[in-house]
A and B are shown apart, each in its own frame.
Chain A
């Protein structure tokens, strides 16, 4: 379902260029949950950026659901990403002037999902925030924010979720609780997950764990 074929990616800074991937091949099946580990600076975030289509590889192809990114125009690629990929970040990245409900509703509005409000309320209830719908992010704790972010990532039923260290900013207990919710919801919807994490414990929840070392996944 997700396939990366002989990807090459380097960052150029002035005359210097930092080679991140030389020839990366990677494959994820539908509904599979994959953990990616690796040292800081090994290119995990770069990998997620490539999968999300925000940055382009220097060489190689990316396919999601048999659609090749390079065949899509910029705006089509954006639409494709909006409908097919959900994101969860270490720093939550909720839109600060929207309340919990509005944050969750947003992808549904973008993807023209029917009954966005009802769906959002339902989802927020299922992450245990049914009573905090109109709270602004600044009024929520870290764990609560991440739960809103999970609801937001799932509302439009994306094919795949990209999560970059979702529990990295939370204490262990909260992190575990948030992870419980994430994995429960993903299982229910049979959503594919690519999870970047530093925690072996979190990685263990996934079916597969890869280590990113010098540009290749092992």
Chain B
């Protein structure tokens, strides 16, 4: 086994190279590997989480009792069912001796929810522990006790029956998406519900069919089933699948994993560039050995195998280090993820991951190794075009890899293609500019002259180094600025953020409510009337028909959904500070046509307009309590989402709906008052009112944003470390190439200082220009992104930028002077008699 022997000699003889290689490659793959490794766990946890928000695989809900025929019809359209329950819930005024409040009464079904469940204060759980409540027992939320001034074991009258509070619920996975989700819940047994006779009074109820399928289907598949079912059943029924429950938190998490995977891709690319430089430097050093071995009769095939094996061993060692690190640290990281995502995170050891990674790494060794090794064996200089051609398999591998590592469809692939095109463009333009810059002869200042010629005539190296530093600094300045813009946007609006939402207030209550609130030191704000209606026609076309024939599938289902659902309308003539008209004009004033002969002016929120596919000037017909109202869209407006006040997608002119029956939505400002007292006082005085404390909602969101910012900051730091390491490798490679030139210059009598300065100027210029451009690009990028996402709460961070501006060039200069002095002290007489 001559080959193996040679490989081990090569490994043993170049220890520092091997160490640098392993270090660089381990860093390059670490982030990507970690993300991929946890991806499976995160994905499956997200799936489970989404399922437990719904409690089942599929839910059909209706405001009216669902008939047996309907039930059979639905059943025939679904996959084989493992378990099925019928849920009922209703809303009722519940009173204690001292207080009364609107509460949601929910029937407990045996075995339901199929996913998630209840956790009680006494740490017992349902459905996997506790049995059903007895006919005279109820389980309640803590809020029920607070609001009604009760305690565990107290009696409670619901409808016509008396019950005993048996258990207090601490956690409820179904909390988030219940249809009147803000109300405190009381769980009751089927018999109890019957005895209370609540449903006989015709009070609003919600009927649900919960399905658990035999086959374990993923959420996307369930969404397909949901969409199919929607098309074929009565429009009064709603269908929900777990994906509908993906709330803002999950969306943010999705964004984070996507973002992290892109950053880790960049790091991976940078690391690979470093690897290519490092390895071709190594091969260059061994060129003589290769020639000699070839002359001694070792076949080219065996030589190729030798170096490929050498490369593969190095790559494998790095991977084994990273993989063991992953396995070792997983147990510490899993709880951290759990804390971050704030739901049950189930860690799965994914053996497939290791298999796949090994294959990828083998492919990497081949696609990088062959184009580097083969030209050396041919013993002839390859032209540039041929070199590029030989790297095509490697590039294809990278594109494929990018495609598979990013969670969102195509994002990684397009990102990689965009990067590739940018790099090609960059090199093209750069090479052209450098050629323009070239000149014959010397400048007065010899160092500068040498430096410029080095930059201009070693285009490949100069541009690679430039691009690498540019990429790093762009990322490095982009990410923190986006992060701080984001928290800026959130904290700037902190003062305006309400503490409570007031929902379902009656019009006549508002005046008293306002007085009460201000008596307690707060303000009732954002008072908005709300009227329920439906869109029945768009531009004289029946909305349902339109939605069937027009647009792509997604828009179609969205529209379908909308046509099923009523819309909330509000009216007001002035824009809020957080709103901006992007198309069209403001309302012309109060509506004045008595017989509704003139179309009503309507304003539509931009994203909503896009979703339902309407444009400026379109005519809509609304159905409000049976009355058909014709309206025309006079403007499209945007609403800053950082504003935490409730807003409406559809806004009508004043003067139309003023007399229609409506409820009122409002907010109570945050401030220096006793929030608990406020809540209790208001529910005492206005028992029918729903007051929701939104402090926790915002705070947990802000907390999540801060966590995300911290992660992205660290990630950008990681990628800059890889970038610097790669710069280090490229500089080292370049300086080794320059070794003879340095000695030649010395021999001619050029002073050490002049030589050293020429290299300092060369790399200083490259890194200074690259980091400057990177900072500018990163800032522009962060400005654009802030403008798009956070409506321009852009936070310019001169502190960070200035740091990078000095830090990166200075670090480059230190590296360069280290290598120069290493070489410059060699005696130039080695040039003799070589």
Contact A136 B749 (CB under 8 A): no
Contact A109 B832 (CB under 8 A): no
B756 within 8 A of A: no
A70 within 8 A of B: no
A10 within 8 A of B: no
Residues of B within 8 A of A87 (CB): 747-748, 831
A178 within 8 A of B: no
Residues of A within 8 A of B297 (CB): none
Instruction: Kindly state the separation between the CA atoms of A133 and B745 in the bound complex, as whole angstroms.
Output: 19
The residue from B457, B458, B751, B832 contacting A89, defined by CB atoms under 8 A apart: B832
Residue-by-residue, is A35-59 near B (CB-CB < 8 Å gives 1, otherwise 0)?
0000000001100110010110000
Contact A95 B458 (CB under 8 A): no
Contact B749 A107 (CB under 8 A): yes
Given contacts A90-B834, A134-B440, A98 and B829 within 8 Å (CB-CB): no
Contact B741 A95 (CB under 8 A): yes
The residue from B440, B442, B740, B749 contacting A116, defined by CB atoms under 8 A apart: B442
Stretch at the interface among A13-21, A76-84, A185-193, A207-215: A76-84
Contact A106 B833 (CB under 8 A): no
The residue from A93, A110, A117 contacting B749, defined by CB atoms under 8 A apart: A110
Instruction: Kindly state the separation between the CA atoms of A89 and B828 in the bound complex, as whole angstroms.
Output: 12
Contact A164 B744 (CB under 8 A): no
Contact B833 A93 (CB under 8 A): no
Contact A95 B833 (CB under 8 A): no
Closest to B381 in A: A138
Closest to A87 in B: B747
Residues of A within 8 A of B748 (CB): 82, 87, 106-107, 110, 152
Contact residues of A between 79 and 104, Cβ < 8 Å to B: 79, 81-83, 87, 89-91, 93-99, 101-102
The residue from A45, A111, A117, A196 contacting B829, defined by CB atoms under 8 A apart: A45
Instruction: Kindly state the separation between the CA atoms of A133 and B812 in the bound complex, as whole angstroms.
Output: 34
Contact B453 A55 (CB under 8 A): no
Instruction: Kindly state the separation between the CA atoms of A206 and B450 in the bound complex, as whole angstroms.
Output: 37
Contact B442 A48 (CB under 8 A): no
The residue from A91, A96, A109, A196 contacting B834, defined by CB atoms under 8 A apart: A91
Instruction: Kindly state the separation between the CA atoms of A111 and B749 in the bound complex, as whole angstroms.
Output: 8
A105 within 8 A of B: yes
Contact A117 B441 (CB under 8 A): yes
Residues of B within 8 A of A144 (CB): none
Contact A82 B744 (CB under 8 A): no
Interface size class of B (residues with CB under 8 A): 20 to 34
Q: Tell me the number of A-to-B contacts counted with CB atoms below 8 Å.
A: 83
B196 within 8 A of A: no
Contact residues of B between 739 and 785, Cβ < 8 Å to A: 740-741, 744-745, 747-751
Contact B457 A97 (CB under 8 A): yes
Contact B744 A49 (CB under 8 A): no
Residues of B within 8 A of A97 (CB): 453-454, 457-458, 741
Closest to A85 in B: B749
B446 within 8 A of A: yes
Contact A165 B833 (CB under 8 A): yes
Residues of A within 8 A of B834 (CB): 89-91
Given contacts A44-B833, A98-B453, A102-B453, A54 and B741 within 8 Å (CB-CB): no
B248 within 8 A of A: no
Contact A102 B440 (CB under 8 A): yes
Contact residues of B between 413 and 440, Cβ < 8 Å to A: 440
Residues of B within 8 A of A81 (CB): 749
Contact A105 B831 (CB under 8 A): no
Closest to B747 in A: A87
Contact B442 A102 (CB under 8 A): yes
Contact residues of A between 145 and 196, Cβ < 8 Å to B: 152, 164-165, 196
Given contacts A78-B749, A101-B440, A54 and B744 within 8 Å (CB-CB): no
Closest to A97 in B: B457
Instruction: Kindly state the separation between the CA atoms of A134 and B438 in the bound complex, as whole angstroms.
Output: 11
Instruction: Kindly state the separation between the CA atoms of A60 and B749 in the bound complex, as whole angstroms.
Output: 24
Instruction: Kindly state the separation between the CA atoms of A87 and B454 in the bound complex, as whole angstroms.
Output: 23
Instruction: Kindly state the separation between the CA atoms of A111 and B750 in the bound complex, as whole angstroms.
Output: 9
Closest to B446 in A: A109
Residues of A within 8 A of B829 (CB): 45, 48-49, 52, 54-55
Residues of A within 8 A of B750 (CB): 106, 110
Could you show 7 A-B contacts with beta carbons less than 8 Å apart? A48-B832, A49-B827, A93-B740, A93-B747, A94-B744, A134-B440, A164-B832
In order of increasing CB-CB distance, the 3 nearest A-B pairs are A82-B749, A45-B833, A49-B829
What is A's interface to B at a CB cutoff of 8 Å?
Answer: 44-45, 48-49, 52, 54-55, 78-79, 81-83, 87, 89-91, 93-99, 101-102, 105-107, 109-111, 116-117, 133-134, 136, 152, 164-165, 196
- 7 A-B pairs besides A54-B828, A106-B750, A117-B441 with CB distance below 8 A are A48-B832, A54-B829, A87-B747, A95-B744, A99-B440, A106-B745, A133-B440
